[in-house]
Amino acid sequence: MFAVWAAKITEKVSVRIFHRQGVTWAGKIALKICPAILTELASQVKKEIFIVCGTNGKTTTNNMLCAAIEAEGYRVVCNHTGSNMLNGVAAAFALGAGIGGNLKADYACIEIDEASTRRVFPHFKPDHMVLTNLFRDQLDRYGEIDITMKILKDAMQSAPGMKVIVNGDDALSAYLAMDSGNDYVTYGISEQVTDDKDSHEIREGRFCKCCGAPLEYRFYHYSQLGDYACTKCEFQRPRIQFDASGIEIGSGIAFTVEGRRIRADYKGFYNVYNILAAYAAIRTGGLKAEHFNEMLARFNPENGRMESFRIRDVKVMLNLAKNPAGFNQNISAVMQDETPKDILIVINDNAQDGTDVSWLWDVDFDRFKEDKIRSVTVSGIRCYDMGLRMKYVDIPAASEPDVEKAIRQRLSDGCGNLYVLVNYTALFSTRNVLKRLEGEK
């Protein structure tokens, strides 16, 4: 009880000033006072514990799953802010507990950083793991994808009763689920949605993880997601249980799964996967998901995942893009909007971003070479690296290291439709600037 109080006080005092850092401290203090707090509180979850892992889409998928379960009338504990390492997970449970020190939750929805699974799993064993995808992230933070896969496999095998809800369109994630020996269910898209011929995306996992032979793809959705089979051994895309069909992507998203038409008002193909993952998870957990569409209508993909602002007469869209696959998907989402637009790219290289920005060279920035893109501005600590990257694809870009100045300039001389693409640590500062400007008269 004392640990819960300490966590609540720490969070109250620090979160307003330090944002996510405050949540992390709350968890750290709770664990210091009571090392068993996470085990204790997790055991008080009445029904089931879901965790969400994978390179991209964790926060959106996890928050959406939480909202979907709440919409069915249950109480859920969730790390909404995306603090997904051990301290953040401990904080979610401690802050979710009542002042008596007990948790009154039916379900838990917890996103966990892949590398942190080995620190979290000793505290509790989840009932379900959603595995969204495995893309190359910032190199210096995670090392090779193989290391991440090994860590996840160990975590899965340490929880043999845990069912994996896996993206079957990703050969790496599907292989991992099969290889772990855990029970698994699959979600995916069996129809070809986009004509992917023009993309020069770097694709991970083009080789079979079983035998090393090249994989052959019937089609790609994006990055390495698609319909694949090994050219030598038996390994192939598994049968898909939650199969989305009749996909529409444009000003909104729609698809059919289990005979239900699902609709949402967001952009971006990747959101089909986020929604489908949340749906597959809630259904695998045995819930009816009768209020799923209502939930989507209310749901706001928070924290810079396609967040919109209106500043004076300018429409501003903010989106997080922290690795090549995420950035390429963001570019696709921007290009879906066929009206004229300005682009602002903010790149930092703080510790949490990964100090190596060489991944920028794996992003298809040449797709910005189009009439509807009225201007490109680069900003942030590494704006000159970003500027150089644009120079190599022959796209003129203005450099302004100061984010607020860059935004103010485009607000006053732009075409009234501004897309702001930022990496991790740039998100919070940029979001604060946009919020403040929105409040100005």
Pick the piece of the chain touching Zn ion (CB under 5 A) from 149-157, 229-237, 321-329, 421-429.
229-237
**Site string (157-196) toward Zn ion, x via CB under 5 A:** ----------------------------------------
Pick the piece of the chain touching Zn ion (CB under 5 A) from 27-35, 46-54, 228-236, 365-373.
228-236
Q: Which is nearer to Zn ion, 236 or 352 (by Cβ)? A: 236
Q: Which is nearer to Zn ion, 217 or 235 (by Cβ)? A: 235
Q: Which is nearer to Zn ion, 206 or 369 (by Cβ)? A: 206
Residues 336-365 that bind Zn ion (CB under 5 A): none
Taking the complex as a whole, the smallest distance from the CB of residue 229 to Zn ion amounts, in Å, to 9
Burial class (CB in 10 A: 0-12, 13-18, 19+), 216: middle
Per-residue DSSP letter, 312? T
- Cα dihedral 68→70→76→78 (10° resolution): 50
Pick the piece of the chain touching Zn ion (CB under 5 A) from 46-54, 203-211, 281-289, 431-439.
203-211
Taking the complex as a whole, the smallest distance from the CB of residue 215 to Zn ion amounts, in Å, to 8
Q: Which is nearer to Zn ion, 6 or 229 (by Cβ)? A: 229
Distances (CA, A) of 44 to 77, 105, 128: 11, 8, 16
H helix or E strand, kind and range, residue 297:
helix 292-298
Which position among 140, 356, 402, 413 bears the catalytic label? 356
- For residues 438 and 47, give the distance between their C-alpha atoms in angstroms, rounded to a whole number: 42
- Cα dihedral 386→387→388→390 (10° resolution): 90
If one asks whether residue 233 binds Zn ion (CB under 5 A), the answer comes out as yes
- Name which position in 230, 247, 257, 311 contacts Zn ion (CB under 5 A): 230
137: its two tokens:
């992230």
Q: Which is nearer to Zn ion, 235 or 368 (by Cβ)? A: 235
- Name which position in 235, 255, 368, 419 contacts Zn ion (CB under 5 A): 235
Taking the complex as a whole, the smallest distance from the CB of residue 239 to Zn ion amounts, in Å, to 18
If one asks whether residue 1 binds Zn ion (CB under 5 A), the answer comes out as no
Taking the complex as a whole, the smallest distance from the CB of residue 395 to Zn ion amounts, in Å, to 40
* Maximum C-alpha span of the chain: 64
Pick the piece of the chain touching Zn ion (CB under 5 A) from 100-108, 155-163, 230-238, 256-264.
230-238
Task: List CB contacts of 282: < 8 A, sequence separation 6 or more.
Answer: 65, 68, 69, 72, 289, 292
| Percent of the chain as helix, strand, coil, to the nearest 5 | 40, 20, 35
Pick the piece of the chain touching Zn ion (CB under 5 A) from 95-103, 232-240, 244-252, 304-312.
232-240
- For residues 106 and 301, give the distance between their C-alpha atoms in angstroms, rounded to a whole number: 23
β-pair partners for 50: 109, 128
Report how many helices (DSSP H) and strands (DSSP E) the chain contains, helices first: 15, 17
Per-residue DSSP letter, 74? -
- For residues 7 and 364, give the distance between their C-alpha atoms in angstroms, rounded to a whole number: 44
Taking the complex as a whole, the smallest distance from the CB of residue 91 to Zn ion amounts, in Å, to 42
The question of whether 170 is a catalytic residue gets the answer no
Instruction: Kindly tell me the sign of the dihedral angle through the C-alpha atoms of 173, 175, 178, 180.
Output: negative
If one asks whether residue 3 binds Zn ion (CB under 5 A), the answer comes out as no
Helices (H), 34-102: 37-43, 58-71, 86-96
Q: Which is nearer to Zn ion, 147 or 213 (by Cβ)? A: 213
Taking the complex as a whole, the smallest distance from the CB of residue 168 to Zn ion amounts, in Å, to 16
Q: Which is nearer to Zn ion, 213 or 297 (by Cβ)? A: 213
Torsions phi, psi for 364 (to 5 deg) = -80, 65
Residues 204-223 that bind Zn ion (CB under 5 A): 208, 210-211, 213
Taking the complex as a whole, the smallest distance from the CB of residue 150 to Zn ion amounts, in Å, to 19
Which residues are at the interface with Zn ion (CB under 5 A)?
208, 210-211, 213, 230, 232-233, 235
Catalytic residue numbers read: 356
